[in-house]
Amino acid sequence: MTGLVYWLDIAGVIVFALSGVILACRSRMDPFGMLVLAAVTAIGGGTLRDLILGVRPVFWVTDPAYLWVILVTVALSILGFHYIHRLSRVFLPVADAFGLALFTVIGTHKALTLEAPGVVAVLMGLLTGVAGGMVRDVLARRVPMVLRQEVYATASIAGGVTFVALEALDAPFGVSIAASLAITLGLRLAAIHWRLALPVFAWVVVSRPPPPEQAPASGEPPPKPRRPKARVKLIPPKRARRRKGKSS
């Protein structure tokens, strides 16, 4: 099964590198910018994971095939630039969803092989899946997907928990991988298709109604106006989207 994990990792690198190339094209970057965005997206999360787990050297230093895969992906994308540039805007989040699912499984599995606790393994799967995309979005001057309302990190956590639980139950390794991939990918694609989002907390100011007008008694100062009251309010996803549309 080690070969299966390796090829899943390579597939995740290709998908994430391609998503970095697409975003670089939309941001009007040069070939070097495309290479940088593809590289940080493809190996950024895994690099941070290995550094936290104490793996020295990191995976792409011991196996430069990852770097060659990124270079080939970028080169083929440049040759087919016109086709890449015309890809629908739906393709980027879908490709990102596949990369998220693959890297969640890889990160969780690697942490478990290093005998990390289950909660740490889930966190490492999340880190492997989202860290590279966060750096990519920051370099492209976009709000990272994981920081938006969309169901993104939640899908990765659900997939990581599924993998850890099935491994703890001694389920077949292929079943653990398939179930984790299905949970992560299914949740993320459902969120893209139906625009599912989590509720947000906002600091809102609630205005108080003015008191009824009463004539002050002789010699008494006029009543002070009531100050607005500020409090934290839970805003459902649909209302949050409407507020965003109005503000724009």
pLDDT (tens, 9 = 90+) of the chain, 248 residues, equals 578 889 999 999 999 999 899 889 888 899 999 999 999 999 999 999 999 999 999 999 999 999 999 999 999 998 887 777 676 577 878 888 999 999 999 999 999 999 999 999 999 999 999 999 999 999 999 988 788 767 899 999 999 999 999 999 999 999 999 999 999 999 999 998 898 888 777 666 666 565 565 555 555 666 666 666 666 666 777 654 555 455 44
The domain locations on the chain are 2-194, 202-212+219-247
Strand, helix or coil for residue 27: coil
Report CA Rg, the chain.
24
Residue reference for tokens 């990160």: 107
3 state DSSP class of 214: coil
CA 84 to each of CA 120, 125, 232: distance values in angstroms, whole numbers, following the listed order: 37, 29, 44
Q: How far is CA 35 from CA 88, 136, 205, in A?
A: 21, 11, 46
On whether the CB atoms of residues 228 and 208 are closer than 8 A, the answer is yes
Rounded to whole angstroms, how far apart are CA atoms 198 and 43?
Answer: 28
The strand pairing partners of 32, in sequence order, are none
Cβ count within 10 A of residue 134: 19
- Amino acid of residue 170: D
pTM score: 0.83
